[in-house]
Amino acid sequence: MKLDPRTKMVIAVCISSLAVIYNTPDKLFFLLLLTMLLLLVFRINLKSVWGSLKPFLFMVFSLFFIQCVFIRSGSSLLTIGNVTILTSGGLLQGVGVALRIMILVAVVLLLTTFSSREFILGLTQCKLPYELVFMVSLAIRFLPLFRDEAVNTFTALQLRGVELKKIKWGRKIEIYIHLLLPLIYGVLIKARQMAVSMESRGFRVYPKRTYMKKLILSSLDISVMLLSFSVTLILIVIYIKESF
């Protein structure tokens, strides 16, 4: 399905809003299934969802464990001696947090179906200031640069014969602290080069910018936007009524 980038942004905002508002596993699981269905509609391989989720697995399990252990609502499910280890409320909250993170990761993949240029065009045509849009796009661009710089730093360390897996945690933390300075320095160098490039190209010389390409909303885009807003609003109202 070919949709305007702004339409996909609206869908992502609606799903993310529901993921933040919902706090029960059944609703979040339904929302996750809906997000996966949208990924299939936009022809995104579900294996890429797993690949994008793998870096967050440690955080997901950590938050799941924290919710299960420290939330004491509901009935007791696991007790050792006189100490309650797991409650039903904690288990539900843990599952809810894990599902919420999975939904947000899947929503991010929706935004990867269009280029960064289309992302900038979509936001600027929504009457957002170009400077703000450029900062957002620049931050998104610098995330992989920061990751690549970190990978290069650790690769250089391994080439010198240092095996981090065999080093104790105390010494490993010291190494990470020492590696942080060259990592930040490398990113700052790239940021300075970007600033020089922007100034040489006359960034913000004129109050308005022109674009060779212009995004046009089709009738399908407008229908999908209205449907997304309407369904999201209805679901939020129903959820508020059920809560009170």
What the block records as the tokens of 102 is: 């999975």
The percent of residues in the chain predicted with pLDDT above 70, rounded, is: 93
CA dist., res. 113 & res. 109, Å (int): 7
Quick: pLDDT tens for 173-196.
777 777 777 777 777 887 788 888
HEC string of 7-24?
HHHHHHHHHHHHHHHCCC
Amino acid 231: pLDDT? 92
> Do residues 90 and 74 lie in contact, with contact meaning Cβ atoms separated by under 8 Å?
yes
- Between residues 122 and 238, the one the model is more confident about: 238
Round the average pLDDT of the chain to a whole number and report it: 80
Does the pLDDT value for residue 201 go beyond 90?
Answer: no
CA dist., res. 40 & res. 113, Å (int): 12
- Beta-carbon contacts of residue 219 (< 8 Å; ≥ 6 apart): none
Highest mean pLDDT among 34-43, 99-108, 221-230: 221-230
Query: Is the pTM for the entire model greater than 0.95?
Result: no
What the block records as the tokens of 198 is: 């922007």
Does the pLDDT value for residue 73 go beyond 80?
Answer: no
Quick: pLDDT tens for 80-139.
777 677 787 888 888 888 888 888 888 888 877 777 777 778 888 877 787 787 777 777
CA dist., res. 60 & res. 55, Å (int): 10
DSSP track, 32-82 = HHHHHHHHHHTT--HHHHHHHHGGGHHHHHHHHHHHHHH---S-EEEEETT
What the block records as the tokens of 97 is: 């947090």
Beta bridge partners of 99: none
Q: Where are the domains of the chain?
A: 1-115+216-244, 126-213
